[in-house]
Chain A
């Protein structure tokens, strides 16, 4: 068992999920609340990784972050090494690749909130940030949790972008899906079976957690909201 690859994969999924939530919550709030003409193109761009082959995304990122572009050279001069074929490069690729899996459930959750509630909050003086913090996030907590789990799982199984952008550097860019690919290429089916089983077990366990305990998760969220409500009062 390649423990180094397992640890790297979990680290990549955790870092990617954390960054994605920081980006996805404000982006989803903007998409849910705005009447701007930019809404449609931004939503289309956000959804692009759903239909784009991962190798295409990986290829463009490899070119963009490589030494042939200004951005690539700037990042290389700042970091001291190019972003491609590094863990940081993998994080950038994973964030872009999993963006729709984080944004779309949260947009759906925010959009499902009754507009009379957001109207009431605005009439009471809530600006966009307070509206998101006190109303949208607590009421769409389940959607945000689902987005986090989907992003984590999607990053765990990522292959095309990882291979194109990160290659196969042990301890730096070699994730479990790359290990699995190498094992199959080398006809090491017993080892491949163990690696695939680990990915399968993690994914199934996480999905069961989503579907089996939604009320418990929601209940915990409501309790914490009541506490903050009490402070307001």
Chain B
């Protein structure tokens, strides 16, 4: 369960969110500029809100009143929030395997190597382990970036259009495997997308974000149906 009560101003843009996300898999859907990426950066701890708090499974990871702001990272005193952004951001001077192992520094070598292998297999990138990130295609880099974020098994996983460089078939394949694994590990996930097809593809809870505010929250079929009706109504002449 993620509980959010956030206010953050970035220039002329104001993000104001107050909601609870109880589902294991939530899709945040909205047009470009709605504040989706800012919301994820605030939850991940890369930015601090002007006011408000964030709780994950009852643990306060940010609270501006008490100035509590757990630093990013997968460890216990840290936030335990993983983020996969559109930009794969792989470390260019490390191999693919070393990239995936980066968040496992505190683990002994044997289980760490096993975890790296498992995560690369999960995203269909086991054959890339010894390659340099410079030699990867956009889709391969996104798979590796996903494996790197999954490896430390975060309590909450944030996905910001993480497979946009993959073709539709490959994306569906990875998403299906990913959802199964996340459900097995009981890792709550928030997926951001501006593609309604992505939002409808999963029978997830959908949060509709518009101009920095939560416009609707509920099952995909309901939220997206009402969104469709609303958009059609806008097109009707007065």
Contact = CB atoms under 8 A, between A and B. Distances in A.
B5 interface: no
A233 B98 contact: yes
A222 B72 CA distance: 27
A131 to B, nearest CB: 11
Contacts of A228: 98
A127 to B, nearest CB: 8
Contacts of A130: 105
**For chain A, what secondary structure do more than half of its interface residues adopt (helix, strand, loop), or is it mixed?**
helix
B95 A230 contact: yes
**For chain B, what secondary structure do more than half of its interface residues adopt (helix, strand, loop), or is it mixed?**
loop
A114 B129 CA distance: 23
Task: Give the residue among B83, B85, B102 with the most A Cβ atoms within 10 A.
Answer: B102
Contact of B152 (A125, A222, A233): A125
Contacts of A229: 91, 93-95, 97-99
B81 interface: yes
B74 A225 contact: no
B89 interface: yes
A139 interface: yes
B95 A233 contact: yes
B162 interface: no
B164 to A, nearest CB: 15
B149 interface: yes
Contacts of B90: 120
A61 B106 CA distance: 46
Interface in A104-144: 114, 116-117, 119-127, 130, 134-135, 138-139
Contacts of B44: 123
B37 to A, nearest CB: 12
B75 A125 contact: yes
Interface of A: 114, 116-117, 119-127, 130, 134-135, 138-139, 221-222, 225-226, 228-233
Give me the 4 closest cross-chain CB pairs, A-B, nearest first.
A229-B98, A125-B73, A229-B94, A124-B103
